[in-house]
Each structure stands twice: as structure tokens, then as C-alpha cells.
Amino acid sequence: MAMHFYYFYKRIFFPDILQTAAMNKSIRQGITFQGKWNFTSFIFVVAGLVLCFYFHLWFAGAGIVVLFLPVFLAVRGTDIDFSEKTLRKWISWYGIRFGKNISFSGYSYVKLRNYYSCHTMGCRSVNGTYTARTFEILFGGPDLPGIIIVEIPKYEAARKISEDISDKSGLQLIDSFQDIILKNKHMAQNIRDLLR
């Protein structure tokens, strides 16, 4: 399945960021992030349907449709319940959600970080033919494994979401991307001062 789902934040709308659309408050005091359909598998489903119309290739087309239709209809998401301090990562097939609850009660901060990911495969890699900047928000703490909450393609949207999660959970916000930007600005200023 495709690992490059970008999640929707269902409260804040950005006119130029339709794929990172909005944030929805669940019935309990929490947040729901929801992904979008996998467009790559949609192409395979259409190709399989086209092959079904050819007499000698109908079995291949039917196999492609059977294999890729559940992937196309699968949607990933994350529910955060701040009152119980739990996080539920789920995948939905045909409207039925499957997932597990993860407690973040021992965690001390919400971290916003960026990494380069291969656009087509969703792998974490600096090398590749095409790389896209992606920002991920995660829960972290000393000697605890990070729990990735959501991945978002735009920094402004990711910053607002991480601030909202930090406010609602009461955890400290660490923005490692902003630290990198400030470090580079100071480095550029120091180089200019040295060249004068």
C-alpha cells in the first residue's frame, strides 16, 4: 500500500493547500486526521476494467481489479483523544475502521520535523530522482520511541497543526525545522560579516 498519504487537517483551510484541507473535532475532545484515496491504485483499477473488455485478457483485468480495489478504497487516519491521552492509528476499508490505540501519557513533547521523501514511493531518502519536502508531527519523550501522528506537505499547515496539538495536549512544542532556518540565517549573516 502506498505510504505517502497526506493527511487532512479538518479545521484550518488554506486556499493553496487543498490536499491538506481541514481538521475535525471528534465527539470526544480530540482530533481526527484522515487521508485520501490512493490515486496510483485508481489508475490500476481503471486499467483492469479496460482489460476486462478484451475477451482474451478479461481474467488479467479481473485479477488487477480484485487486487487493487481494496487498496484504492483504503483510507488511513489518526484519532487523538486528549482526555484519555490515547492515539488511534487506523485504516478504513469500505468504511470499516481497523486500528489500535496507543497511549501517549508518558510523552513530554510534540515535535515538528522535516525530511525528504521520494514522491512516488514515500520512502525516506535524500537520493532519488524527485524529492519532496514533507513535515511530520510526532509525540516524543526521553527514552521513548517517537509516535508519528501525521505527515503534511506544507510547513505553515504543519506548524498550525502542531501548535494546536501542543495546546490541547499540554505538551511542549519542539520545532526542529524552525531551528534549522534560524541557524542558516545566522550562518549567512556571519559569512556576510566576515566578508566585509
Q: Is 135 in contact with 160 (CB distance < 8 Å)?
A: no
Name beta bridge partners: 121. Answer: none
Identify whether 41 is part of a domain: no
> Does any domain span residue 161?
yes
Which strands, in side-by-side order, build the sheet including 96-103? 24-25, 30-34, 75-81, 86-93, 96-103
CA distance 158 to 151: 8
Task: Assess if residue 136 is contained within a domain.
Answer: yes
- Domains identified in the chain, total number: 1
59-112: pLDDT as tens digits: 888 888 888 777 776 777 788 888 888 888 887 777 778 888 888 888 999 998
* 92 within some domain: no
Residue 174 counted as domain residue: yes
The boundaries of the domain holding residue 141 are: 106-195
Residue 157 domain-assigned (yes or no):
yes
Domain assignment present for 33 = no
Q: Quick one: pLDDT band at residue 127, thresholds 50, 70, 90?
A: very low
Count each helix (H run) and each strand (E run) in the chain, helices first: 4, 9
How many whole angstroms separate alpha carbon 15 and alpha carbon 21?
A: 9
Checking if the pLDDT of 30 tops 70, the result is: no
In this predicted structure, what is the pLDDT of residue 110?
A: 92
Note whether residue 133 is domain-resident.
yes
133-172 per-position pLDDT tens digit: 678 888 988 888 888 888 777 888 888 988 999 998 889 9
Q: Considering the entire predicted model, what is its pTM?
A: 0.58
